[in-house]
Amino acid sequence: MRVLISGYRGNPYCGGQGIYIYNLSRELAKLGVEVDVMVGPPYPDPLEEWATVYKIENLNIWSIKTKDIPYEKLVRIFSPWNFADYILTRLHMFPEMETYSFRAFFALKKILKEKRYDIIHDIQSLGWATVPMKGYGIPIVTTVHHPLTKDREADLMGNFGLWDKTTTILFYPLVMQSFVIKRLDRVITSFREGITELNKAFGVKPEKVSVVYNGMDVDLFQNTGEPREENALLFVGNTEDSKKGLIYLFEAMTMLPEDVTLTIVDDGPPKKMTAADMIKKFNLSHRVKFTGKLSYEALVSLYSRKTILVMSSLFEGFGLPAVEAMACKTPVVVTTAGSLKEVVTEDCGILVPPKDPIALKDAILKLLSDSELRKKMGENGRRRAVENFSWPVAAKNTLKVYEDVIREFRRKR
Amino acid sequence: MPRAKIWGIIAVLVSAFLFALSIFSFFILPEGNFGFFSDVNLMNLHPLTYYSAAVPLGLISLWVLATGFWIGWVILSIKVVPPMPEIVEKKDNSKIKAFFLCLITAGLAVLLVYGIYLRNFWALAIPALVISAVILGAVFWVGMAIITTRATLPVNKN
């Protein structure tokens, strides 16, 4: 089978898409699939060992003021797609997906003079030009971890005033995604509730959605054997993302004993102020610390040393930190929001309703006071992570979806 | 001088000249030949000639106005439940502003369609001027940035 994976951002260290492309392409190649990758910047780590990479240009100038755009990029703005990108970004839109899809459409036309593919796998770009791409006679599947409507709702909740709300609404290309997603052959999502979410957000028919759990590197994320700290909570995630429900975690912290501390793996002040302001408001400055961005090794070490991982999310499309913690034998306390109730079972963590700081506090206290339970949950978590959320499993399940889509596509023709 | 800087200067000069030319052509050249609400012999044009210009311009303008209306509508209809604590403490009058945004964009859209139907010159001229201003403004601004930014690339002596 020959597959073209297409994503508008490819760097494995700056976002989920890059990690997904890197690992999925590698594992598919191991299964005997011929993989090509078409990708926009930041470009991925070398994939040449197992895939042919086609790099698509993009200046990535969203949120950069014209005066601050590096000279090398400035002099490239006057090409048609870059100029379209520039104008749209100045109007507070996020056109990367749109322009990527057009560039990819024309690049693919050239590639198809020499190659053929059995299937194209779009990684949540859903740009306008993905629809005419179907004219090349190749089925197209897309991966959407969660609909962007969730992100927009969360952002609008935190916005104040007409201008903030307007820029948020302009930022998310929901009209485009809603139009494109319904016209593709299959949508892959990473949790069962995603089927309903995609139907509600974009009107995607449930029979067009397949669930494939995300993968993670279970070899990298292993318990290091370092001694566990007591009463040490861990939070991993973007503190500026209101979907993470950090405010409820801080509220729970105020009800927990003074010796319970929280480590947040993200940038703190002055780079990111949202969480810092809340910490000040709740008078938690002496109990909460930020680590900034960490290397994988340092993150694995933290997972292995801290007592519990806590996720107070209002919505999650997968919940990677929970799985990473489970793989490191760390018990978790998570909300039942989005995918978390599928990812975490009751034998490897405690699930609480979202937006309920008292339930969160009770669950944390229960685990902190029972080391035997923590150990048992940690062992179960590792087993669950290896069996369900490793990249080889994700690739095998994705391949099954490809085969199904190709079969259906050929039958229709 | 690096070639990119020369392109930057050309971009600034050409965009400034073209914008000045369009202002001159729209507002100064006619010199009282027609008022704001009078038609400028557009009636003499063949319907196909007129609508070949009016339809694309009208559609682009309507798309922009529809986007404005849609933004207002989303803000009006979004349910922020439960409100974030920091929002509760402040008074947010964005819903009132959003209502006016819907009202104004809808009004402008009606006016535009009616103006195109009447073959009013300004129904075409104003959208054309706005679109030109956005594009030429972008060219001008990028040109200025190229001229004033210090190059980090090695200068190609060839």
Q: Give residue A153's pLDDT.
A: 84
Put simply, the answer to whether B142 touches A74 (Cβ < 8 Å) is yes
**Residues of A (319-358) whose Cβ lies below 8 Å from B:** 355
CB A355 within 8 A of CB A314: yes
Q: Give residue B31's pLDDT.
A: 66
Which residues neighbour B87 within 8 Å (Cβ) at sequence distance 6 or greater?
A157, A158, A160, B80
Size of interface A-B (CB pairs under 8 A): 78
Q: Which structure tokens are listed for A96?
A: 């990367």
The maximal CA–CA distance of chain B, rounded, in angstroms, is 64
* Nearest chain A alpha carbon to B100: A162
By Cβ distance, the residue of A77, A162, A242 closest to B142 is A77
Q: How many CB atoms lie within 10 A of CB A202?
A: 20
Which residues neighbour A6 within 8 Å (Cβ) at sequence distance 6 or greater?
A37, A38, A39, A104, A120, A121, A122, A123, A125
The pLDDT tens digits for A195-248 are 999 999 999 999 999 999 989 889 999 999 999 999 999 999 888 888 889 999
Put simply, the answer to whether A153 touches B153 (Cβ < 8 Å) is no
Q: Give residue B43's pLDDT.
A: 79
B16 touches chain A (CB under 8 A): no
Residues of B within 8 A of A250 (CB-CB) are: none
Strands of the A288-290 sheet, one edge to the other: A288-290, A261-265, A232-236, A308-311, A332-335, A349-352
What domains does chain A contain, in order, with CATH numbers?
2-215+391-412 (3.40.50.2000), 232-388 (3.40.50.2000)
Residues of A within 8 A of B156 (CB-CB) are: none
Return the higher-pLDDT residue of B153 and B93. Answer: B93
By Cβ distance, the residue of A67, A83, A162 closest to B75 is A162
Sign of CA pseudo-dihedral B20, B25, B31, B35 = negative
Residues of B within 8 A of A242 (CB-CB) are: 84
**Residues of B (54-83) whose Cβ lies below 8 Å from A:** 67, 70-71, 74-75, 78, 80, 82-83
Q: Which structure tokens are listed for A234?
A: 């861990």
Put simply, the answer to whether B149 touches A355 (Cβ < 8 Å) is no
Name the DSSP class of B102.
Answer: H
pLDDT band at B38 (very low <50, low <70, confident <90, very high): low
In angstroms, the separation between the Cα of residue B98 and the nearest Cα of chain A is 7
Which residues neighbour B137 within 8 Å (Cβ) at sequence distance 6 or greater?
B15, B19
Residues of B within 8 A of A83 (CB-CB) are: 138
* Nearest chain B alpha carbon to A158: B84
In angstroms, the separation between the Cα of residue B72 and the nearest Cα of chain A is 8
Residues of A within 8 A of B153 (CB-CB) are: 71-72
Q: Look up residue A108 and give its amino acid.
A: L
The pLDDT tens digits for A133-175 are 999 999 999 999 888 888 888 888 778 788 999 999 999 999 9
The pLDDT tens digits for B45-77 are 888 989 999 999 999 999 999 999 999 999 998
CB A156 within 8 A of CB A205: no
* Nearest chain A alpha carbon to B150: A71
CB A339 within 8 A of CB A194: yes
CB A247 within 8 A of CB B85: yes
Parallel, antiparallel or unpaired: strands A308-311 and A332-335: parallel
Q: What is the ipTM of this complex?
A: 0.79
What values do phi and psi take at A119, rounded to 5?
A: -160, 150
CB A147 within 8 A of CB A198: yes
What values do phi and psi take at A288, rounded to 5?
A: -120, 135
Alpha-carbon distances, residue A3 vs A37, A89, A120, A181 (angstroms): 8, 32, 6, 19
Res B157 pLDDT > 50: no
* Nearest chain A alpha carbon to B154: A72
Res B3 pLDDT > 70: yes
The pLDDT tens digits for A48-90 are 889 999 999 988 888 889 988 988 888 899 889 999 999 999 9
